[in-house]
Amino acid sequence: MALSSSWRWGAWSLFLVLALLWSGGLGLVGALLDWASHALASGEAARMGEAAAAWQMPPWLAPWVDEATLRALQESLKWMLDLGQSGLPWLGTALGWLTPLLWVLWFMGVMALFFLTLLGLRLLRSIPSTTASAR
């Protein structure tokens, strides 16, 4: 049985949309990793953590957030940054090595989508036609 062209167009269109979403998502992750590696390697992350630890809660947020919990979170953040101060530049360098791994993950994802599309088309081709069975 021949598969109608509208099913083929639909399957390949779905493949294209999912591949674009996959590529865009991994592009976003890659940009975030690049930003994080530069921020950690340069020490900017420690400065941002200190700024977050000194952040004052606005009065309109007070009814929804417990101030003691916020202070405990800020102290925990400051403690973690003080603890990891020597390792942050190394971590930034290590994050830079994740970019090639992201490309491998992207390729594997696109290939998986491609083969799932081919499998779906093959399965659709194996379904008997309702017009052929009505004859």
**Does residue 14 form part of some domain?**
no
Query: What is the count of structural domains for the chain?
Result: 1
Tell me the CA distances in angstroms from 74 to 26, 53, 67, 97, 105, one per residue in order. 31, 5, 10, 30, 35
Tell me the CA distances in angstroms from 127 to 7, 84, 114, 119, 120, one per residue in order. 12, 59, 20, 13, 11
Q: Is the pTM of this model over 0.75?
A: no
The residue range of the domain holding 64 is: 33-125
Reply yes or no on whether the pLDDT at 133 is more than 60: no
**Does residue 121 form part of some domain?**
yes
Which tokens sit at 60?
A: 């309109």
CA terminus-to-terminus distance, the chain: 14
**Does residue 79 form part of some domain?**
yes
**Does residue 48 form part of some domain?**
yes
Reply yes or no on whether the pLDDT at 132 is more than 60: no
**Does residue 28 form part of some domain?**
no
pLDDT in tens, 57-97: 788 877 888 888 888 888 887 787 777 666 666 776 777 67
**Does residue 115 form part of some domain?**
yes
**Does residue 132 form part of some domain?**
no
